[in-house]
Structure 1
C-alpha cells in the first residue's frame, strides 16, 4: 500500500517549541547541537538538519534564520540526509512505492560527508546550497525560535462528477484527526464548504450543511454521491495518492500556500 502523505497550512500561528538541543545543559544536548548542520541558499532561507541519535529522532527545520518551523520526517535523518514530503515537486524517476512511500513526491536535503557542500532537491531539481560554518551555525540557532509544523490537514478523499466538478475532503492530522474540511468546484476554482461531519464509521463519512440542503456521502464500497436537496449526483473516486501533484498544483486549494518546507521559496 502506498502511503499518501499531504498537508495544508492551518490559519492559526504555531506554538513555540524547544529545540532538540534544549538548554545545552547536558552533554547529550550539546552533542546534538554540535552534530546539527545548517544550509542556506544565500537569500535569507535556512534549512536545519538534526541527525537521528540513539536517544532521539532526527528533525528538519526551515526558516529565515530567526524563526523556524519543523518539517515532518519521512524517514530517520542521517548526519548527511533528510527526506521530506513535497507534493508540488514531482520526480518521475523516483520509486513510487519504497516501503509504502511514494518517493516521487519526496524531496531531500543532502550534506556532503565533509560538510563543505549542501544540495536541496525539490522533485527532480537539484539546487546547490551553502553550508554555514559550525560556529556561525550555532550562533544562528541559539538566537532563533522554533515551532511545530504548520501542516494540520491532509487530503483524505478526492471525488469527481461527470461535469468535472471536484470534491476534496481533508482530514486533520494527529490529535485533530476527527476534523474535516470540504472543498468543491472546477479545477483551479475549488471553494470551501461549511459542512458538518455527521457520520464517520468503517464504511465512510457523511457531511452535511446545517440545514441539510447539501450533503456529501463518501462511501468505501459503494458509489459516493453529492446531494442537493433530494437530487443525487453520483461521484467517481479519484485516488489521492496517485494525484497529489494535481491536488497541490492544479486543484486550487493550495494555490499560494506555504507548506513550511525548504521548497517553499524555490
Structure 2
C-alpha cells in the first residue's frame, strides 16, 4: 500500500462528529427535554460506574460514561452504525463482520439495553458484562446533577510505518475540530515507542515532513514515493502499515496507548 492509500485510510478512521456535550435533556424544563430524559437509559456495574444511553436526532442513540459526578461523552460511531456502538480497538471481536458498510466491526464494542425488560449489558470485544438497570427516579436525579465533559481523546492514529529493523513510527493527528493540523510523532521498537520532541511540521498538498531533534520523517502523499526517516543524512526506507487494519496492534502493543483512557465503558474492564 502506498502512502496515498495509507493516509486516505487513516483519515477516514473516525467520522467527523459534533463535539457538543450539552445533554439532550438540558435542564428538563421544556417538553422536548422532558421527553428526552424519559427516553434515556442509565445502567451501572455496581462499582461506581454508569453508562448512559440517550436519544439523539434521526432515531439514533448517544452514549455517556462516568460516575455520579461526571459523565464523559463517548465518541459516536460513524454514520450507518448503531449509536449503541463505539470504536474500541483494545478489545477485538474476531467473530464480528470485518466489512459492515465499509467498517470493521471487529474493533467496535457496544452497550445493549432492553427498556421493556429493564436489562442492560456491556460488550467489550468478545467479553460481555451484565449491568444493573437504574430506576427512573434515581436515573433522572443523576442525569440532572452530573457534570458533562468532552471525550478525553485529543489525538488519533494518522499514519504507521515500520523499518527493516522492526522499529515503528507512529504519527498522531488532532482529533477534535480545529486541531487537524496538530501532529505528534512516536518512534521505537514495539512496546517502547517514545514521543519525539517536534521542531517543525510541514503539511501541504505534497505531504508531510515532521522534523524532530533526531531527524525527519517524510511522508509524500501525491507520489509513489517510499516514506523515509532521515537522521544525520542517513536515509532509512520505511514500509507503510495500514492504520485501519492494525488498530489492535496500535492500541495494545506499541505502548503509546497502554495506560490511556478512551472515555468509554470498556475503560474499566
TM-score by length of 1: 0.89
The one of 108, 114, 127 aligned to 1:125: 127
Q: Deviations over 1:198-247 (max 9, x none)?
A: 3223342111136xx51000123310010112110110001111110010
- The residue that corresponds to 1:72 in the other structure is 75
**Residues 208 and 154 of structure 1, relative CA distance in 2, 3 Å threshold:** same
Quick one: distance in 1 between partners of 2:124 and 2:48?
Answer: 18
- The residue that corresponds to 2:44 in the other structure is 40
How many angstroms does 1:96 deviate by? Answer: 1.3
- The residue that corresponds to 1:218 in the other structure is 219
**Residues 205 and 229 of structure 1, relative CA distance in 2, 3 Å threshold:** same
The one of 159, 162, 167 aligned to 2:161: 159
Q: How does 1:238-253 map to 2 (within 5 A)?
A: 238-253=241-256
Does residue 193 of the first structure (1) align with residue 196 of the second (2)?
yes
The one of 230, 233, 239 aligned to 2:233: 230
Quick one: distance in 2 between partners of 1:65 and 1:5?
Answer: 29
How many angstroms does 1:196 deviate by? Answer: 4.1
Quick one: distance in 2 between partners of 1:23 and 1:262?
Answer: 25
- The residue that corresponds to 2:208 in the other structure is 205
> SS where residue 263 of structure 1 aligns?
helix
Does residue 49 of the first structure (1) align with residue 53 of the second (2)?
yes
**Residues 105 and 45 of structure 1, relative CA distance in 2, 3 Å threshold:** same
Does residue 256 of the first structure (1) align with residue 265 of the second (2)?
no
How many angstroms does 1:150 deviate by? Answer: 1.1
Does residue 135 of the first structure (1) align with residue 144 of the second (2)?
no
Q: Deviations over 1:114-161 (max 9, x none)?
A: 142101000111111111011110011111100111111110000000
- The residue that corresponds to 2:107 in the other structure is 105
Alignment check: 8 A CA contact 2:202 2:208 kept: yes
Unaligned regions of 5+ residues in structure 1, if any?
7-14
**Residues 217 and 76 of structure 1, relative CA distance in 2, 3 Å threshold:** closer
Aligned residues: 254
Alignment check: 8 A CA contact 2:60 2:83 kept: no
Quick one: distance in 2 between partners of 1:91 and 1:180?
Answer: 30
Alignment check: 8 A CA contact 1:4 1:102 kept: no
Q: Deviations over 1:145-197 (max 9, x none)?
A: 00111111110000000111100000011221010000000000000001245
Unaligned regions of 5+ residues in structure 2, if any?
1-7
Alignment check: 8 A CA contact 1:81 1:109 kept: no
How many angstroms does 1:4 deviate by? Answer: 2.5
TM-score by length of 2: 0.88
Off by >4 Å, runs of 4+ in structure 1: 75-78
